[in-house]
Chains A and B, each alone.
Chain A
């Protein structure tokens, strides 16, 4: 398969872009694979890619029940950042951010990483203190972060209402200049193409319907495209971890909740950074096409419906307008919902399960997209070596029973509050 380059773009332009080869193959399933990954989203595809690239394990299949990137990979607000307090989170998300920085070159696919900076707004003294504490901790961990005052913020984001009469007056913000956005669909496509080039089979419309477990070891999967034998199986189906794991008789510390996001009609460049208001749970950015992307809060009740309710849309519109009054005439173009694995401590679960050969990568809460490269890297290591990689060792399923929860927000086992 030809690598993408300026030359290939030029050549294909001559033929009206009608002769581009397909980006990845559409193979028939083999009888068995060394490693089978369930879930063709960012995490599953990244895991397959790094299995082939870093560990030379190329007899790998990625099973996707629909089309790749059709789940949460294509339903998030595309923000990447590593502003976490807990050490394990800080390490994982920073490792991911470093991979994001070189990912387009690595995959030979433009995933449009734009390090436009992320801002976490502080609306009162308490939030200012807590963000200062976070910024200090990040700097101790070697991650650049800075606190900026309202005056600096006013210059940085002129469209933000920094007046004293704002509905939610702003004191200042914490800025991570290396944070930003990436093109979410392209992440799935880029990993799929790169994994395919290394020999990985990507099997779409292939739903897992059952697990074949003998003597507490997984040996294969019943799928809608027939039986597939497996040396090891990795589940990367966040949003659906509970009922896929239930096929192996497992019960997980996860509740599935729905999160909505929406975009406006496109407009000229007006917002060149990512603005997040933790107190409102609103996060706003502008895409390269010009749409304003608005992310909202959970619906606060368990749901598998990949569609939202109007009260939450109204709320996020109100919050966005409180922050950016000049957006008041924008029309919403699209709204959508994704289903989130919400864990009992707000951190993901990656590693072994009680079934030998079966590994779990899920429970990503809101943090899945930004973790994609790091998670794939570490999960591939885990699947290749049959033991949890050091980077993700703290995220074991057993942590809930040994008292080692990683509770970033300190809410306890209340998933909707994470």
Chain B
């Protein structure tokens, strides 16, 4: 059982939240240069999927519907920081 500390709503049970994706696979939003196909495909399909700590994008779907950036250990289910999400450049 995991508890996420929503910056807007306070601590809530994880079933109120929807996991969206790993923060590293989020598009950079930088449209100034034309995207490279291979780089974009790698961002869309490949994942850093090691057991351990990851930063993930979640939505508080059954609450304020805000987007969060949550640091979480996927092996122990230990939850770290829960921050408002903002786009992070693709790796």
Contacts and interface: CB of A to CB of B under 8 A. Distances in A.
Contact of A251 (B38, B47, B72): B47
B9 to A, nearest CB: 18
A183 B56 CA distance: 38
Interface residues of B, number: 27
Interface in A234-250: 242-243, 246
Contacts of B1: 309-311
Contact of B47 (A254, A300, A310, A311): A254
A251 B54 contact: no
A300 B62 CA distance: 15
A401 B41 CA distance: 6
B19 A305 contact: no
A300 B49 contact: no
Contacts of A416: 19
Contacts of B41: 400-401
A10 interface: no
B68 to A, nearest CB: 12
Given A302-B56, A401-B41, A243 B50 contact: yes
Contacts of A242: 47, 49-50
Contacts of B21: 414
B86 interface: no
B15 A252 contact: no
Given A310-B1, A311-B15, A401-B38, A303 B74 contact: yes
Contact of A413 (B44, B48, B77): B44
Nearest to A251: B46
B28 interface: no
A196 interface: no
Contacts of A251: 42, 46-48
B45 A255 contact: no
Contacts of A413: 44-45
B80 to A, nearest CB: 15
Chain B CB within 10 Å, residue with most, of A302, A305, A401, A414: A302
B75 interface: yes
A231 interface: no
Contacts of B56: 301-302
Contact of A243 (B2, B42, B49, B72): B49
A253 B47 CA distance: 6
A344 interface: yes
A304 interface: yes
Nearest to A250: B46
B74 A252 contact: no
Nearest to A307: B77
Given A243-B50, A300-B18, A401-B38, A256 B74 contact: yes
Given A300-B18, A302-B19, A400-B41, A252 B77 contact: no
Contact of B46 (A252, A310, A311): A252
Contacts of A246: 50
A146 B86 CA distance: 50
Interface of B: 1-2, 14-15, 18-19, 21-22, 38, 41-42, 44-51, 54, 56, 58, 72, 74-77
Given A304-B74, A309-B14, 4 more contacts: A252-B47, A252-B49, A255-B49, A344-B44
24 contacts: A242-B49, A243-B51, A251-B46, A251-B48, A252-B47, A252-B49, A253-B46, A253-B47, A254-B47, A256-B51, A302-B19, A302-B49, A302-B56, A302-B74, A303-B74, A303-B75, A303-B77, A304-B74, A305-B76, A309-B1, A309-B14, A400-B41, A401-B41, A413-B45
